[in-house]
Each structure stands twice: as structure tokens, then as C-alpha cells.
Structure 1
Amino acid sequence: MLDKNYYSMYQFKLDFEEECRKVGSQKFEIALRRGKEEVAVKTLKILPSNRVSENTRFVERVVKTMIWAYGGYHLYLKGDDAVIDEIQKIYSKTGERKFDVDFMSDVYQTPFVVEKVSGKMPKESRKAKMVGGNTKGRRIGFDAGGSDRKVTACIDGKVIFEKEVVWQPKLNDDPTYHKAGILDSINMGLKALDGKVDAIGVSSAGIVIDDELRVSSLFIKVPKSKLKSHVFRIYKDLEEHYGVPVNVSNDGDIAALAGAEFLNSGKVLGLALGTSEAAGYIDKDMHIVGYLNELAFVPVDANRFAIKDEWSGDIGVGCKYHSQDAVIKLAPEAKIEIDKNLILSEKLIVVQDLANKKDKRALSIFEKLGEYLAYSIMWYKEFYDIEHVVLYGRVVSGTGGDTLIAKAQKLLDSLNSGVKLVLPDEMVRRLGQSYTASTL
């Protein structure tokens, strides 16, 4: 059995709750603000006050999940003082989660705060955005990817023009390069519409807050000093340039929206298993709800010796279990030798080629990834209302992907999850990201 020390967050939660039933429990409340009218809340049962370290460990993992699933800059805690004190130390400029604190401070442009509450806690509230389904009139959709940019022009939902252009946003430190590329694509769409457009929709890699691009790998080379003045409003400024409404969404949410429209159903989590783990979410009312959905940093393995993520400095987080990294990580244990000189995507292909030939060692890796996925979805269900998970990305392709999905679905069914996994092959043929963006 591969990765025999894997201890899913879902099982960790069940074990913690069982211990609470055995020895007694106390109430612990969490609220996380990500906007004036946007607050996520969670009420937990934790162990008695003499179990501080165990309580802190569990509460911290829940807090971490909320931060990266929902996003936020003000954490309110009510309950055991000793646990709150520990969380305040951990989520500080000098604490273990310094990365998280700094990241959220940058995203929301305000210092990250952990507040101990003795009185009333903030109530749950959210500002959902109805998106998609807008096909009337002359519309342009633009999709900004890491290696190509695509524009789609439509009249009353009918595609009249599409164009994909290779670009290199991650290699350029001058944001005028990015702006010129964006305008070039949209102008091509505008020309196809005879210079008349009613609305523009944008799908972009990165974190979008109030139609502003706060963090994105597309601008990784751009100096931090230029981000606020040149990047944050790079899409929203299109409103003034073209004189029409512009709606901007994260590409993960757009992928989830395409899935929701294809399924004609909400409660959809979109997951891309590729270089890392990317996600988007559409609620029961077919709304984008403004969650961060950065599940790459959400803890999924509670094993104290789980693999470390080099970027965030944390262990057991999603990007190491739902990506090509997971396949590569398990290869030596499965007795598969891979040339160390290959780049990561090539290493993945080596294992996938073996899986396509029905190599049992390779198939065992994808079975383990299916196990990872099923238990992670069970953990995600504690924070999202999910009925369908739409899967994208190179990791779920080929025989290996089929094996992964079959294992995950079997496990999800055995756990009475009520969740169905969906591959978007047909949907991708019907709806591209830029087309879906045009309907925002």
C-alpha cells in the first residue's frame, strides 16, 4: 500500500469528534470576514480545556481551510482562551503561518487580524454574484491563460469569431506587455462585431476581488511596486476604454460555471489537477459567491510527517496530493524509476505512459490519487455544498485518470457522499473558457 501513513483530514475530523463524544466537549466559534457583507462562520465542538495542544491542532487546520477556501482578512474567535492565544501566535507576522498572513494581507490590501471575541460573533453573510446565461446582444469573452490568450465574439449566443494567440505573460516584467496583449485580443473580437459591443467578460488566472486582479501568476515577473497601479485594474479599466460593462472572474470559477451550465445544476466544485490544484465553485443558485477557492493550500493530510509544500512552508496541503507532484512523489515507492533530468510534466508522462500499458505499479499510483481525491472531497464538503465535482487537468487524462476517477467515485459512493465526479470532455468541446466568459 502506497503512502501508508496518509491520514486524511476527513478521518482526522471523525476521530476528533469521536474523542469529543467520549470525554466531553466545549463550543468553539470561528468567523472569517472577507468583505463588508461577506463573512463565513463555523461552530466546532472541541475537547475539554486540559487538551490545549490537541484542540489547537484541530482548530488551526479548520482555520487554515477556511482562509484558503473562502479567503479573508479578519478572523474572529470565541471559546477556549488558551486555544485562541495559540492561534493568534500561529497566525501572526512571526508565526508558523506567516505565509498565509502575508498572502491574505496582499490579496485584501489590509492587515490580517485575529481577534478574540467575548460578546456577539459576526453572522454569516455573503454577496453572491449571478453570472452566466447572458447571451443577448453583442458580447466578447476573453480568457487569459499562462501560455495563450483567447477571445470569442458572439451575437445572441452564437459564436461568430474565435482566436487563440500564444503569449508569454509569466516571462515579462513590464505590464504594458500584458495590457497590449489583452487589447489586441479584444480588438480582434470587436472588429468581428463591426466595432459594436454590449458587454465584455474576462476569465483570468489569479485571484479576483471586486473585479480587480489582486494576485496572479500571469504577472509573477512584474515588480510588486507596480501591481497596484498597473495590474489590479487592468481588466476593470476596459470599461472606460470600451464604454461597456466588464465582468471579471477567476478561471476556476469560470470552469465551474461551464460545468454547472453543462449539467444544468448548481452545487458544482470545479477541480483542475495539473501543475498544481486549482478550483472554482458555483452555489445552488448558479452564483459565484466570491470565495477564494485556493484549495492548493488547504490541508488534506493530517499526518504529522506529511510532505512539505516548498512555497507555503506547510505540510499535507492539496497541491502535493492533487497534482503532477503527487504522481511523481509516489513513483519511487511504487518502484518506478524516472530520469531526474526530466522536467515535472515529462516525469508525469512517464508514469502515465506506463498506466496506459496497464503497468500495475503505475495504476497503483493513480488508485492512491483516487483515494486522496475522495477523502479530500469529503473534507471539502464540510465547507462547500457539493453535488458534482467537475475534473480538469492532465492528471485525470488517459488510463491513469480513468483509474483515479473510478477509485474516487467508488470510495465516495461507499461514504454516502452524494457527490458525482464529472469529466468535461464533451463540455470542453461545446464551451470554451472564453465563450463562458462572454456570458458573464
Structure 2
Amino acid sequence: MTAPAPSLSSIPVSCLPVLDEAFLPAALWNRAYRGLAADAAGSREIDLALVRPDGTAFRWSSPLLPDEPAHAPTTLRYVERILKFLLWQKGGSRVLIAGAPELVPALAAIYGPDGARDFDSGFIGGKIFGEPISFHAVAKDELPAESGEAIALGRHLGGCRIGFDLGGSDRKCAALIDGEVVFSEEIVWDPYFQSNPDYHIEGVQDSLMRAAAHLPRVDAIGGSSAGVYVNNEVRAASLFRGVSDSDFETRIKGMFFELKERWKGIPFEVVNDGEVTALAGSMSLNENAVLGVAMGTSEAAGYVDTNGSIRPWLNELAFAPVDYRDSGPLDEWSGDEGCGVQFFSQQGVARLAKAAGFEFGGMPFPEQLVEVQKAMKSGDGRARKIYETIGTCFGYAIAHYADFYEIRNLLILGRVTSGEGGDIIIAGAEKVLATEFPALRIKLVVPDEKTKRHGQAVAAASLAAV
């Protein structure tokens, strides 16, 4: 006789977000599922490999409930949510599954052209890795070994270097001599809807030339930018959304190789801005195992491992689910529920502002954030509740992230965290960690003013070895 399905519908949440009491933390739901699986008679193990076209592989394993009809929906939800996280954290296009072959057709349908996760499949599979996401049932001994080696980038400060950071409203550039900033500037630009690739390429070249004018020579160049970059190649980035697909393929994809040629082939490295932010924090703190999370236009992230190295991961945590409730807040881009962007960004502030009682109408998200910050300064209790809610949700999200990253230091930055609101967010997150996850020893830190001013440029300039 088949045992009744265990219930995961009433998981106790000790710290309820004041404006979002239906929030169902992924960390608690996953922990409860694993506990049920570990105790169930006939439980089994799933071993999964996420593989890139170049053979780079990432592994994940977990106990699963028995392969019985009563457990199937719960198990599918557990594995699909974990897979979604892995796809955006580490990245890959081929999913190999051992120990749970019945999940293969179900996941293939979800991530297929007409499935609920078709956006993720098209973006990660098509745009980043050049092939559709595929699913395969295999034997455990057929799974490839973990092979996502660390990238030896950063912490090279000798010589004359240029560091740059490309943002949506400005491009920053700095010149360094033996690690000391001798010149820095920000130039306003408007890249999002520029269709001419030369606007982007020549804009970066202009900033490099301005910085080079303050150096006796240029030994290396390093840069950071929002988006996905693999071996210095642009795979996907919102900065270039105005460029046609054909121009993206012929000009933008290899723009940093073109710029490297202009600079006579000197060492030239470009990575995601989240990685450089984490590296800057690691260098400033003189600590490793740093996860950096920036709450701004979206949720950006980067990671420096226990050895102080950057990993070849995506770390696009804006798309990673942190809330497992049914009918959770929708990400307008991917159409998925409960993703980080709806909690830890300007969008998240706008969503909670409405729940708090603010009436901003069609005001753009950045302006709504400014109004909430003004309200916070004036002592408006509604604004405080917004930040308290973000902090509580963030505490649970940190614990969820700790299932996938080894974290000793969590660097918090971005416009959402500025001012007194940032202190409230940190206090709320620390309360959750102390209450629900006392075994975790994660220090929450805010970058100092020097790191805020020059840290990104210094870290970017240090990427390339000479």
C-alpha cells in the first residue's frame, strides 16, 4: 500500500516578513523536503550533472522521496527549483540525471519551447551556450566529474594598469600605478537603446584613452560590466539590448578582442561586474569566501571562493528562486514566481511600497526608491516596514545561498541598501540567521567609502596577470 504524501504546505516560519507574510522561504522548504526524504522508507538519491558544451561540469546530489505517485509533484517541484537555481548560478545546457529517470521527461517539458521555463531555456541554452537545454537519464557512473575550475584572475597590482566598469548610465575608468589610483572619472552615456555597435566600442575606447593619458605606459587592462561574459566574450548583456542580433554576433560578441588588438595584445580581461564587486570586497576585507550582493536596478551577485579565486559561474541570482509559495510575485522578464529580483532590487521596493500603502502610480522604479528613501528619512513607518520586509526575506535568502556557496562574508551594496534603510535590512537579515540558522557563521558587511569610490576600478584593473 502506498504511503500518503507528506505535507510541505504548513512549514513554520519563525520570522514573518511584515508586508509579505505569505513568503515561503526556499531554505526552509528545501530543508523540510530533505528531512522527509531522509526519514522515508524507500528513499533514494539523485545525482545530477549540469554540463556546458566545452565539457565543464557541475554536480549536485540529494536524497529524494520514494518514486511513488503520491510524492511525484513534490519531488518534481524540489528538483526543478534547485535546477533553476543551478542554471543561473553555475550555468550549463545539458542536464544529466541519475537515480530519478522519471524526472527527465517532466523537466524536459517544463524547459521545452512551450513550457513554463522556456525563457530560462532560451536565454541560458540559446544565448549563453548556443544550444537548447537538454535532459538525459544516465547511470551514476556515466556522470562526469566536477570540473568548474577556479579562474586565476585578480590581485595583480604591479605596473601601469587601467580598470573600467560599464554601467547603464555611466562608464567609469581609472588609471593605476602599482595599485595606486592616479586618475579616475565617470562619463555619462546611454547604451541601452543605441543600435550602432560603434557607440559602445568607441565609448569604451575613449575611456581607455583618457585613462592612458595619465600613465607612462599601459601594461594591462581589466573591466567589469553587467551581463554574462565567458572567456572575455560577450554572451548576453542588457547594455547592448538596442543592437540587432546580427550586429551583436559580428561586432559586440567579440568587442573586447577587437579592443585588445587596438592595445597591441596586452593582457585584457573582462568579467561580470558582480564578480569584480566581490573581488573588490575580498581585497578590501583581506578575506575569502565572499558573496557580494548588490540591490539596485536588479539583483547582481559575484563570488570569490575560499582560495580567493573567481569561479567560471554565472551568479545571476536575480533569476534564482528564493520564495516557494504558490502564486508568488512574478518576474516580469522570465515570468517565473518568487525570484530574487522581486525582493532585492528597486522592483522589490516598488512591489512592497504598494503593500505599505504608498500610491506611486506609474512612477519609474528608481524614482519610487527615492521617494521611499525620503519617507524613511522623515520617519515614515511605512518605509521602515519596507526595509524590515526586505531584511527578513534577505536573511532567509542568505541561508538558501549558503546551500550553494561556501560563505564566510556577505558583502551588501547597491542603492536599495543606502542610508538608514540599509541598516534595517542588515539587522533583519541577522535576526533571521540567528533565529533560524544558528549554525551558519556569516558576517554581513558593507563596503567602506574607499572601496565604494575606487574598489571596483582597482579590482578590475587587477584582473589580468602581466
With structure 2 as the length reference, what TM-score do the two structures score?
A: 0.91
Q: Offset at 1:427?
A: 4.1
Question: 1:275-306: CA deviations, max 9, x gaps?
Answer: 21111111111111011000000000000110
Match of 1:212 in 2: 233
Q: What SS does the corresponding residue of 1:81 show, helix, strand or coil?
A: coil
Contact 1:258 1:431 in 2 (8 A): no
Q: What SS does the corresponding residue of 2:366 show, helix, strand or coil?
A: helix
Task: Give 5+ residue unaligned stretches, structure 1.
Answer: none
Contact 1:78 1:84 in 2 (8 A): no
Contact 2:232 2:256 in 1 (8 A): yes
Match of 2:460 in 1: 437
- Within 5 Å, give how 1:65-104 maps onto structure 2: 65-104=85-124
- Within 5 Å, give how 1:225-304 maps onto structure 2: 225-243=246-264, 244-304=266-326
User: Identity rate of aligned residues, in percent?
Assistant: 38
Contact 1:140 1:200 in 2 (8 A): yes
Q: Offset at 1:396?
A: 0.7
- Does residue 1:39 correspond to 2:57, yes or no? yes
Q: Offset at 1:315?
A: 0.5
Q: Distance in 2 between matches of 1:427 and 1:125?
A: 36
Contact 2:294 2:414 in 1 (8 A): yes
Q: Distance in 2 between matches of 1:10 and 1:44?
A: 14
Q: What SS does the corresponding residue of 1:2 show, helix, strand or coil?
A: coil
Q: Offset at 1:35?
A: 5.5
Question: 1:2-44: CA deviations, max 9, x gaps?
Answer: 2111101001112212222343321111111135352111101
Q: Distance in 1 between matches of 2:399 and 2:121?
A: 26
Contact 1:139 1:200 in 2 (8 A): yes
Match of 2:157 in 1: 135
Match of 1:28 in 2: 46
Q: What SS does the corresponding residue of 1:307 show, helix, strand or coil?
A: coil
Q: Which amino acid aligns with 1:99?
A: F
Q: Offset at 1:431?
A: 2.7
Q: What SS does the corresponding residue of 1:99 show, helix, strand or coil?
A: helix
Q: What SS does the corresponding residue of 2:341 show, helix, strand or coil?
A: helix
Q: What SS does the corresponding residue of 1:214 show, helix, strand or coil?
A: strand
Contact 1:9 1:302 in 2 (8 A): yes
Contact 2:281 2:455 in 1 (8 A): no
- Within 5 Å, give how 1:50-199 maps onto structure 2: 50=68, 51-104=71-124, 105-118=126-139, 119-194=141-216, 196-199=217-220
Contact 1:174 1:222 in 2 (8 A): yes
Match of 1:375 in 2: 396
Match of 1:358 in 2: 379
Aligned length: 438
Q: Offset at 1:200?
A: 0.8
1:399 aligned residue (413, 420, 441): 420
Q: Distance in 2 between matches of 1:238 and 1:333?
A: 48
Q: Which amino acid aligns with 1:44?
A: S
Q: Which amino acid aligns with 1:143?
A: D
Q: What SS does the corresponding residue of 1:106 show, helix, strand or coil?
A: helix
Cα RMSD (Å) of the superposition?
A: 1.5
Q: Offset at 1:429?
A: 4.5
Match of 1:6 in 2: 23
1:422 aligned residue (445, 451, 463): 445
Q: Offset at 1:191?
A: 2.0
Q: Distance in 2 between matches of 1:343 and 1:97?
A: 27
Q: Distance in 1 between matches of 2:360 and 2:23?
A: 26
Contact 2:164 2:457 in 1 (8 A): yes
Q: Offset at 1:79?
A: 1.8
Q: Offset at 1:203?
A: 1.1
Task: Give 5+ residue unaligned stretches, structure 2.
Answer: 1-17
With structure 1 as the length reference, what TM-score do the two structures score?
A: 0.96
